[in-house]
Amino acid sequence: MINLERLHNILGGRKAFLSTIAISAAVANIIASILIGHRFDNQNPKFLRLVELIKDIIRLLGSPSVLIYNAFPTLIRWLPGNHKTIKRYSVELQTFVKEMFTKHKTELDINDPRNLIDSFLIKQLEKEIEKVIGSSWPQSEHRKLVPYTNAVIHETQRFADIIPLNVPHATTRDVTFKGYVLPKGTPVIPMLSPILNDKDRFQRPDEFYPQHFLDSEGNFIRNENFLPFSTGRRSCVGENLAKMEIFLFFTRLLQNLTLRAPPGTNFDLPSGIGFTSIPPYHKMCAMPRTQI
């Protein structure tokens, strides 16, 4: 399910590969499989273009011209800038997705709700999506049984600080906050990064420290300051699905492979500037555990 066969074919770890691209394509394929019950070939030009569009849109969302546009949309709307590039990319992305969904809808079997899209199309909302693929594969139920793995995943999200800023909100009524009056309709952009890196909330915010999510006995503990998906009514609607996917992807990957940096390579932590904290491209070696 996670294209492990492709990684296994990289000469037993002797050949480095662009891990960001490979993993991004694999994750995109998982989402496509859940939504429409279809997987793309990783070398499919349209699929690769889809992955590239999403990456570029996210990167451009953090550019100075887009930040200025978000603050003064009426004034900047007609000027050239990355906000126009995002709009053009978004139209291309929406066209691709609409074509994909339209094709899927024509093939819908009302007696065979294969996936999430089918469930919405036949007006049946499923409370929870579980994918059982056999005892040899990790399942979402295993998450509570592996507290350290769960803590490592949570700490990775906190330390990586993927989304420093939340999506823009607006006040629905006049609000007074710490002595400041915010009229109805005032744009508000929540800052997530200061919370995830606050010394008062996390013991060692500048270090990768899984113990942030473990008690003294090694049990996993929830931290109310862990907000990588934001919070409140406008938090990420796909949070539960994302958590399940990350856990299954991560554990299955490490079940089969040991990931190492190529000899003589040191990874640099600084990330690119954008709407998200984009990690720099780096090569990685994937070694089947049977060969270790």
pLDDT score recorded for residue 123: 36
At a CB cut-off of 8 Å and minimum separation 6, what does 211 contact? 151, 203
pLDDT score recorded for residue 50: 80
Residue pair 70/289 in contact by the 8 Å Cβ criterion: no
**What would the pLDDT profile of 234-268 be if each residue is shown by its tens digit?**
666 667 777 888 888 877 777 777 766 777 666 66
pLDDT score recorded for residue 263: 73
Ordered DSSP codes for 120-137: HHTT---S-------TTS
- What is the distance between the alpha carbons of residues 188 and 205, in angstroms, rounded to a whole number? 25
Residue ranges for the chain with pLDDT beneath 50: 1-2, 10-12, 109-135, 291-292
For residue 99, give both structure tokens.
Answer: 């074509």
Residues annotated in the binding site, as ranges? Answer: 236
Closest among 290, 292, 284 to 17, alpha carbons compared: 284
Residues annotated in the binding site for heme, as ranges? Answer: 236
pLDDT score recorded for residue 174: 93
pLDDT score recorded for residue 273: 54
Return the percentage of the chain with pLDDT > 70, whole number: 64
Q: Which CATH class is domain 4-128+136-291?
A: mainly alpha
pLDDT score recorded for residue 61: 79
- What is the distance between the alpha carbons of residues 102 and 161, in angstroms, rounded to a whole number? 36
Backbone dihedral region for residue 178 (phi beyond 0: left; psi -120 to 50: alpha; all else: beta): left
**What would the pLDDT profile of 14-45 be if each residue is shown by its tens digit?**
566 666 666 777 777 777 766 666 677 767 78
At a CB cut-off of 8 Å and minimum separation 6, what does 210 contact? 148, 151, 152, 154, 155
Residue 241 DSSP SS3:
helix
**What would the pLDDT profile of 190-200 be if each residue is shown by its tens digit?**
777 788 888 88
